[in-house]
Structure 1
């Protein structure tokens, strides 16, 4: 029996639950894309599945709305695959395990995928209805939003007649987004050279951090496990001679990493080592105690491996991990409290004899985004690393005039007797890219209350899901 049976809207939540049974991490969307295509065909709706697996579904307007201007409903089908270290879950094959706590929906030990499965569920409920008044609908569900908005970049404008787009990828009820940051993914690759290991080997683990969305939560100054690992190694290097190997941390560059680890091989004197590590834990922990009160460092003696980074590579790796920028770079001077520019060192991993530092860079000012990318490039190349920008997308600029925004505000004021919040966001939405693919777009973004997205604590407010859906139906009713 579904844990969602007692909640409304039943159609939306039933469809959302169906989506949680389909693995749909970024880059693994074929099954869900085919599901959406079959959904449309079963209802005799026009459907396009493009070369990258984006889905476009068109539905005529209901009686009285046949001649109304089409409206594009847009979201993305992929989700961020994150799980707790002790959770056994195969994101390529296993369905999510849902649970409800105090009227909030969670998955068990993994991300929930409400970002952005709830948009898909809303859209499918509209497409499945025969009693909801609405103008002609053009539903666009994209792939690989979470890894660089590659689906949006492949959209062809010729498929659309609509010039008003409702994006359903924001996370606060009653707040409508009208602008967002642009961004890029950047990778720094340090060549690895090895030597034979001799000495006392320890596994150094950073854990207990909350993590979060690398755009929305970056201003909360939550601990970044990769950065804290770099600081720990840098402090240890002042007193001890060591080599390192097996550096790992985080799994997605758009999620603030929660865990990181390194194998450290100490050569020579290790007097006071355990005490030194404990003092580092206390020092770093006190800096982030307000936002990450479960931070801890574990330091465990292990068998010495056969090989490790040589001395030069060790120094470069530790120095780069310590020196590369991370976090908020600048705040907007136009919108109070809005982060303008930031970057997140989301993933640290080894591959093909290189140590990879993977970043998500964001800014609402294009020139400052380029400045941060260049800064990372200069630091990386100074240490002999290769630097590559793997994807880039533009900011969504605020429109001074918007018929769609005016409609959203009026309907909200009529329905609730108060004015909604109109805001910009320091996160990437597909609106900036779509504005370049479909001409003359008038856009706005909404969504229900979501919390801790991109983490295993992601949860969705079920009452808010109902409220936002009812409001969306009211908006569509007014777009005659």
Structure 2
């Protein structure tokens, strides 16, 4: 369809996607992209608001004939998940993404693509820049920190909006209309470290688990993919039952809302145990390959001698508590919905484990479409933390988006899909966190849907988006806006 980027970027949507792909915009690093959006609006004499959280609201008047149509709020987020392959030198703080086309898919190179949610931003910019697309009065809001805390959406001042129709562009399946999502909360258990010194007969080795697919902790949590931190916990526990060794560091995962693909521990072991531990680790690799043969056949465990600049290691009590935490912090689906077939109701993801000078941090993303179930999982996390002597930090608590079967905007999108394609659109709910729930709490009477093109392996370096689906979804989106004219 498109053989090269130069040809692809002739399409207005991909023109803007390529532009923003040159701007670093990881969560918490949104100043440059936020300023870009403000300049974009100013250059087109559009009303623009940039708040203290760097959210940007851009307003555009209705086109001729649509002055009486209800105002539409269009929403996406400007930040992306910054995941890369371990051997790449890409710097997300300053380097542009390197886009490439494979078949009819668009990828970055060894990094996340940022189609989540750069496609929404590109759609919005293409619409705001247009002079020939009919539409009602628009209030476009692009938020910050969606991928980490949703603090951008939480901080938005609802008084800036007059619209009651809300179109979120943060979905990842073409031909599907999203009408409900889970709420979530970020919970970190912080285990204080008591330090000791490695004995003179111990040498430093790295145990590294790699080769897992990972994925979005909402979208992919039911695919039974391996969690590298949980696998590492099993290995460390098994070794502790037979071999005396010390742990210097544990780390795994990069984002709490991404299933961790890699994890490692730096351990100090006695020289005469090296061969036996090597053999045990090889056995574990075969165990994991068997367990994960359908989901993560590429899983591997490395075991290599390293030079360490320090001989500080966890005291035995800290070591045992750390291993216990890795084993007992839940991961995966906790409950399935009894109301919507195939929908995950509740889950938890041990997404990041990190070691500092003073503590080990275990970061969890808890999700549920039931408020009380989410609260119960937080209680369980607190109870385990109390048993292990951990401090608990709770943030990024965002609400669920309830399903409303009588939604008028849902009915409109169903009607226009039927008109355009001659078939019914698939109306779905999702276990991911969508900002619609935050805005529905802020704006009484808000009627919301979410849509987007086909995306694959989001939150991983293999993230890619379908080019024809992106164009098809854009055409469906603007076709529906065109049907909002009031006679």
Root-mean-square deviation (CA, aligned residues, Å) is: 1.4
Give 2:267's aligned residue: 264
Sort the Cα spacing of 1:24 and 1:8 in 2 relative to 1 into closer, same or farther, 3 A: closer
| Distance in 2, Cα, partners of 1:301 & 1:358 | 28
Sort the Cα spacing of 1:398 and 1:318 in 2 relative to 1 into closer, same or farther, 3 A: same
User: What does the per-residue CA deviation read over 1:71-100, in whole Å, with 9 as the maximum and x for residues that have no partner?
Assistant: 011000000000000111110100000100
Moved more, 144-153 or 296-305: 296-305
**TM-score normalized by the length of structure 2:** 0.97
Q: Does 1:156 align with 2:157?
A: yes
Q: Does 1:290 align with 2:263?
A: no
Give 1:474's aligned residue: 479
Give 1:132's aligned residue: 133
Query: Post-superposition shift, 1:273?
Result: 1.9
Moved more, 266-275 or 9-18: 266-275
Contact 2:57 2:139 (C-alpha < 8 Å) held by counterparts? yes
Give 2:101's aligned residue: 100
Contact 1:341 1:363 (C-alpha < 8 Å) held by counterparts? yes
| Distance in 2, Cα, partners of 1:362 & 1:323 | 18
- SS of 1:6's equivalent? helix
Give 2:383's aligned residue: 378
| Distance in 2, Cα, partners of 1:352 & 1:437 | 41
- SS of 2:373's equivalent? helix
| Distance in 2, Cα, partners of 1:307 & 1:351 | 12
Query: Post-superposition shift, 1:352?
Result: 4.5
| Distance in 2, Cα, partners of 1:471 & 1:5 | 25
Query: Post-superposition shift, 1:269?
Result: 5.6
| Distance in 2, Cα, partners of 1:427 & 1:178 | 12
Give 2:407's aligned residue: 402
Give 2:285's aligned residue: 281
1:31-70 correspondence to structure 2 within 5 Å: 31-70=32-71
Contact 2:9 2:18 (C-alpha < 8 Å) held by counterparts? no
| Distance in 1, Cα, partners of 2:400 & 2:326 | 28
Give 1:114's aligned residue: 115
Q: Does 1:222 align with 2:195?
A: no
1:61-80 correspondence to structure 2 within 5 Å: 61-80=62-81
Q: Does 1:326 align with 2:331?
A: yes
Q: Does 1:361 align with 2:366?
A: yes
Q: Does 1:239 align with 2:220?
A: no
Runs of 5+ unmatched residues, structure 2: none
Sort the Cα spacing of 1:2 and 1:57 in 2 relative to 1 into closer, same or farther, 3 A: farther
Give 1:250's aligned residue: 253
| Distance in 2, Cα, partners of 1:85 & 1:206 | 12
User: What does the per-residue CA deviation read over 1:302-330, in whole Å, with 9 as the maximum and x for residues that have no partner?
Assistant: 34641100111111111111111111111
Give 1:299's aligned residue: 303
Pick from 341, 347, 355: which aligns with 1:350? 355
Query: Post-superposition shift, 1:374?
Result: 1.0
Query: Post-superposition shift, 1:201?
Result: 2.4
Query: Post-superposition shift, 1:179?
Result: 0.3
- SS of 1:454's equivalent? coil
Runs of 5+ unmatched residues, structure 1: none
Contact 2:3 2:101 (C-alpha < 8 Å) held by counterparts? no
Contact 1:225 1:249 (C-alpha < 8 Å) held by counterparts? yes
- SS of 1:81's equivalent? coil
Give 1:170's aligned residue: 171
Query: Post-superposition shift, 1:147?
Result: 0.5
Query: Post-superposition shift, 1:355?
Result: 0.3
Give 1:91's aligned residue: 92
Give 2:205's aligned residue: 202
| Distance in 2, Cα, partners of 1:477 & 1:471 | 10
Moved more, 94-103 or 3-12: 3-12
Query: Post-superposition shift, 1:155?
Result: 1.1
Moved more, 200-209 or 415-424: 200-209
- SS of 2:8's equivalent? coil
| Distance in 1, Cα, partners of 2:246 & 2:91 | 34
Query: Post-superposition shift, 1:301?
Result: 2.0
Pick from 419, 429, 437: which aligns with 2:424? 419
| Distance in 2, Cα, partners of 1:366 & 1:381 | 23
Contact 1:240 1:269 (C-alpha < 8 Å) held by counterparts? no
Moved more, 372-381 or 265-274: 265-274
| Distance in 2, Cα, partners of 1:256 & 1:120 | 25
Query: Post-superposition shift, 1:295?
Result: 0.2
- Count of residue correspondences: 480
| Distance in 1, Cα, partners of 2:225 & 2:454 | 21
Query: Post-superposition shift, 1:351?
Result: 2.4
Query: Post-superposition shift, 1:8?
Result: 7.5
**TM-score normalized by the length of structure 1:** 0.98
Query: Post-superposition shift, 1:202?
Result: 1.5
Query: Post-superposition shift, 1:279?
Result: 0.7
